[in-house]
Structure 1
Amino acid sequence: MSGLDRLDQPKVGQTVTHRRYVPYSHAHYAGNLVDGAYSLGLFGDVATEMCIVTDGDEGLFASYADVQFTAPVRAGDVLEITAELVKVGTRSRTLDLRCLVVGRGRPDLGESSAEMLAEPIVATTATGVVVVPPPTDRG
């Protein structure tokens, strides 16, 4: 069953959310910091699922706008990445993207200590535009 069989038209307000643990092998900088491109790659993952859900196709990322890195992402973090559909064009889909730190390693308490945060930390936000094939080209 394709996304088009389930939905007549992609719905503004629809969301897709992923959670991901950041392994220590992704740390590139002092303090176990992870580069900003890590969040952008995760945005690509939620955007792909959004296209599959709304259009039955993986789609392609066309652009990012207003990328904001507002807090560090560290190895040992648990991230929650969300895409919200905010605008539907003929072939384009505009998404609000957000990466939250919802859990964090606590090496100060022990080598493998960690905790889920009471208040998530907004690490990265962006607006993204994806494009999907015309309806006649979707399988």
Structure 2
Amino acid sequence: MSPIEGVTVTHRRYVPHSHAHYGGSLVDGAYGLGLFGDVATELLIRTDADEGLFAGYSAVEFLAPVQAGDVLEATATLVRVGTRSRELEFELRVVCRSAPARGPSAADVLDPPVLATRARGTVVVPKT
């Protein structure tokens, strides 16, 4: 198996109210970065048959708020393959958002989704 640029993995996750960290039910940016680690792990398992290790981010942009009650979509795309390193691009989108003004369990599908976080990072895999 040889890693191929362009491979993409996407996860979706509901943000529970227990993760609200700031006023207005805001969730800290680290929540999305944790999801990026999860999609990176699956991507490496699929391309390299190993979970790999995250070496670092070269860029992170927080573009829109993430709130408790959101449904998030985290995507990792393989953009560069080195001998042991893999460069990934990440996007975190809000695909659904709670609408408490309409009721305690009301929510909306966002069309289009809101791009909340964008990042670029490097992961490494063991020598083969």
User: Do they fold alike, i.e. is TM over 0.5?
Assistant: yes
Q: Return 5+ residue gaps in structure 1 as ranges.
A: 1-6
Where do 1:1-139 residues align within 5 Å?
Answer: 7=1, 9-135=2-128
Unaligned 5+ runs, structure 2? none
The structural deviation recorded for 1:87 is 0.1
**Cα shift at 1:65:** 1.4
Give me the whole-angstrom Cα distance separating, in 1, the residues matched to 2:54 and 2:111: 33
- Paired AA for residue 34 in structure 1: V
Per-residue deviation, residues 109-135 of structure 1 (Å, max 9, x unmatched):
101101111111000010010000011
One-letter amino acid of the counterpart of residue 129, structure 1: T
Q: Which has the larger radius of gyration?
A: 1
Q: TM-score normalized by structure 2?
A: 0.99
Distance 1:11 1:104 in 2: 34
Number of residues paired by the alignment? 128
CA RMSD across the alignment: 0.5
Query: Percent of pairs identical after alignment?
Result: 64
Q: Secondary structure at the match of 1:50?
A: helix
* Secondary structure of 1:57 counterpart: coil
Q: d(CA) in 1 for partners of 2:58 and 2:115?
A: 17
Measured after TM superposition, the shift of residue 55 of structure 1 is: 0.5
